[in-house]
Structure 1
Amino acid sequence: MSDTPALAVPIGAFLGWAGLFVHNLAELPGQSFLSPESLVPLLVTAVLVAGWFTPERQAATIALLCWGVLNLVGGGVLSVLPLPVLPFVPEQTLSHYLVHGVYALAQVPLVLSTVVWLRLRHRSGRRISP
């Protein structure tokens, strides 16, 4: 398998974090690159991507898939719904929904690239290697 399609996974991870960062800048007052709400997810993403470049690529890919789905569902969908279990009441404005739409769409490349990579590797029957 060519490395070109495989590079979609780390690129997708960066795009997913970028979507979260755009969300944080738009929705949370006083945010910066170094704010914990942005920096901690960046560090998690960086650790998972670093793991993707090791012999444990399959495990890292599964972890990246879970990270992408968590952000897609948790940040992109659930946080716009006024659910009683949430510790906040989300704004019900068009701009709020648009920001969360961008956040959710930014997770799609990571989710799709990890699923495709795992399926291609499964079909080939080869051991996952960097």
Structure 2
Amino acid sequence: MSRNVQSLPSWLLAVLVAVSWLGLLVHNFLESVDGSTIAVGLVSAGLFLGWWRIPSRRSAMAWLLLGMGMVQFVGATVTVVPFGFLPFTPSQTLGHYLVHVEYGASQVPLAGVMIKQLLRDSGKSQA
């Protein structure tokens, strides 16, 4: 595995990880959801620190950060609809929909930048 050159400023990734987590925080606060907010924030921060401080593992951390963003995006999308397999019945109000739009949208920048980083890195390793 080749050593990747950092092409994404660390401050920008820190901001995107924070935006992703703040989307979850706002959702959980407004929807009165307990539990995952701190754990997800700690995992995301740990992945960011790994990406930043361990350049040889940057690609792996980018994949994991992409996974975190995508899982949260899919979760924000799926849990707005009252599917029978969900262990709860989500409210069908405009406020609920808007909170889920906010939550899903807050994941897009992180996922997009991680996809761009991974594509750039895969192009470098093939060159």
Alignment TM class, shorter chain as reference: 0.7 to 0.9
- Residue 40 of structure 1: how far off its partner (Å): 0.9
- The alignment of Structure 1 onto Structure 2 pairs a total of residues equal to 119
* Residues 6, 117 of structure 1: 8 Å contact kept: no
TM-score, length-normalised on structure 1?
0.83
- 2:87 is matched with 87
**Ranges in structure 1 where 5+ consecutive residues have no aligned partner:** 30-34
Which structure would you say has the larger RCO, counting Cα contacts within 8 Å and 6 or more residues apart?
Answer: 1
Matched-pair identity in %: 34
The answer for the alignment partner of 1:11 in structure 2 is 15
TM, length-normalised to structure 2: 0.85
Shift of 1:124: 2.1
1:22-101 paired onto structure 2 within 5 Å: 22-28=26-32, 36-53=35-52, 54=54, 55-74=56-75, 76-101=76-101
Quick one: distance in 2 between partners of 1:56 and 1:72?
24
Letter in structure 2 aligned against 1:68: G
Aligned structure 1 segments of 4 or more residues deviating by more than 4 angstroms:
none
Q: Secondary structure at the residue paired with 1:56? A: helix
Deviations 1:86-109 (A, max 9, x none): 000000000000000000000001
CA offset digits 1:3-44 (Å, max 9, x no partner): 4x3433332221110100011111116xxxxx6431111111
CA distance in 1, matches of 2:9, 2:67: 17
> Using the alignment, how far apart are the partners of 2:50 and 2:113 within structure 1?
16
